[in-house]
Structure 1
């Protein structure tokens, strides 16, 4: 395949991955907002930070989708790591998930929290999405594009 076609194929793959991330972040964000409006108990992780049903449910949604779409790329997810799930061999690429960034804000009923998903290659985040469920705003990036 000529180099230009390879570059186009890589860009297409990146765009498709970004689409998956956006869909999963939106689905997870809906669940976060459901819990936000319903209220929930707050537990404390071993590092003394809060964790809620919204964190856990958001992570389940994201992990199920990512593992179905990208079974060969290991996932590092905040609540799994906090629960003692062993971090997989990260090799050259892995998916990084923070299912509810800003749990303290969420618990205190402030609206500045996000759902974050990224692909990290060789230690550098290359494709990612940040979704703010309270405002419905997406921030995303991939090689050559940031929005």
Structure 2
């Protein structure tokens, strides 16, 4: 599926929304906390899968300098987000302080949302460059 189709977009935003809802669900000691940890971990996997298959960077500009640099930065940012998700996966299941993990994952969600906006901006700028902008 192409990277900017509506179904793909809803997949990204749907995965983020599901993780956000899971993070906000009740968590108490015992079975409820275990269920919370497991549900959050599953939702994190969905976000990771979407990020791992994301198309990042200029596709058809022939290596235009400023777009290539921004594409490289977006790629490195995505790799950093994937590393953070991987590290947080272990923390969700094992950390004694579930609230601290929840706060960190909320921060990570915001960072993923900002990354997605930068990728969308990059794609928009690429199309604008190909079409010649407003001149």
TM-score with structure 2 setting the length: 0.34
User: Per residue, is there more strand in 1 or in 2?
Assistant: 1
Structure 1 or 2: more helix by fraction:
2
**Larger relative contact order (Cα-Cα within 8 Å, sequence gap ≥ 6):** 2
Q: Of the two, which has the highest radius of gyration? A: 2
